[in-house]
């Protein structure tokens, strides 16, 4: 098949593998967290008080659907939202104590599972892959072009 040699197909397959590994490791660690929720938590912990639009921009996620991701994090007790004192239309997000404890437990698991995602590569190949993937996407902090942000049903 031609698709097997195409970047889009290979990236989609790698994304499937990444999501499967992430989900399995989170379940084994006793957490119900998706990759998008982890990325959002990481942004919120790193930048407490960030608004929802800022979280979306930091993780290259669609602004229209980030609210649902943050809703689920709030339901789990990991984050709290407040109305911004600077802009009443904006909602600031901060990690809760429970969220801080969870991210401290989760971060080492997520770090460790990175090798499982690229299990077919040796250490040097992993480093090359990460360098090339970062180069291909440009600035990782830039949001995806309009209409192309990857949305997951299980976010």
**Res. 153: pLDDT tops 50:** no
pLDDT band at 155 (very low <50, low <70, confident <90, very high): low
Comparison of pLDDT for 13 and 139, the residue scoring more: 13
Rg (CA), the chain: 17
Strand partners, 93: 50, 81
Q: Has residue 43 been placed in a domain? A: yes
Q: Has residue 154 been placed in a domain? A: no
DSSP 8-state assignment for residue 2: G
Q: What is the pLDDT of residue 38?
A: 97
Percent of the chain at pLDDT > 70 equals: 88
Domain that holds residue 116: 8-137
Q: How far apart are CA 29 and CA 44, in angstroms?
A: 21
We report the CATH number of the domain holding residue 96 as 1.10.10.10
Q: Has residue 142 been placed in a domain? A: no
Q: What is the pLDDT of residues 54-93, one digit of tens each?
A: 999 999 999 889 999 999 999 999 999 998 888 888 889 9
Q: Has residue 81 been placed in a domain? A: yes
Q: What is the pTM of this model?
A: 0.83
Q: Has residue 125 been placed in a domain? A: yes
**Cα angle at 70 between 103 and 79, to 5 degrees?**
45
Q: Has residue 122 been placed in a domain? A: yes
Count of domains in the chain? 1
Q: How far apart are CA 93 and CA 48, in angstroms?
A: 7
Taking alpha carbons only, the member of 153, 155, 143 closest to residue 60 is 143
Residue 54 three-state SS: helix
- Can you tell me the mean pLDDT for 110-128? 93
Mean pLDDT across the chain, nearest whole number?
Answer: 88
pLDDT band at 139 (very low <50, low <70, confident <90, very high): low
Our separate counts of H helices and E strands in the chain read 6, 3
Q: Has residue 1 been placed in a domain? A: no
pLDDT band at 149 (very low <50, low <70, confident <90, very high): very low
Q: What is the pLDDT of residues 17-54, one digit of tens each?
A: 999 999 999 999 999 999 999 999 999 999 999 999 99
Q: How far apart are CA 12 and CA 10, in angstroms?
A: 5
């Amino acid at each position: 098949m031609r698709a097997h040699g195409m970047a889009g197909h290979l990236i989609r397959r790698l994304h499937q593998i990444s999501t499967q590994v992430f989900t399995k490791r989170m379940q084994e660690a006793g957490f119900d967290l998706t990759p998008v929720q982890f990325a959002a938590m990481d942004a919120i912990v790193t930048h407490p008080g960030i608004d929802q639009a800022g979280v979306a921009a930091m993780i290259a996620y669609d602004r229209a659907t980030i609210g649902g991701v943050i809703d689920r994090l709030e339901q789990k007790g990991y984050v709290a939202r407040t109305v911004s004192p600077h802009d009443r239309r904006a909602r600031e997000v901060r990690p809760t104590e429970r969220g801080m404890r969870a991210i401290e437990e989760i971060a080492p698991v997520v770090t460790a599972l990175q090798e499982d995602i690229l299990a077919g590569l040796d250490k040097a190949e992993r480093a090359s892959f990460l360098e090339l993937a970062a180069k291909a996407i440009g600035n990782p902090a830039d949001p995806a072009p309009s209409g192309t942000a990857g949305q997951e049903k299980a976010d």
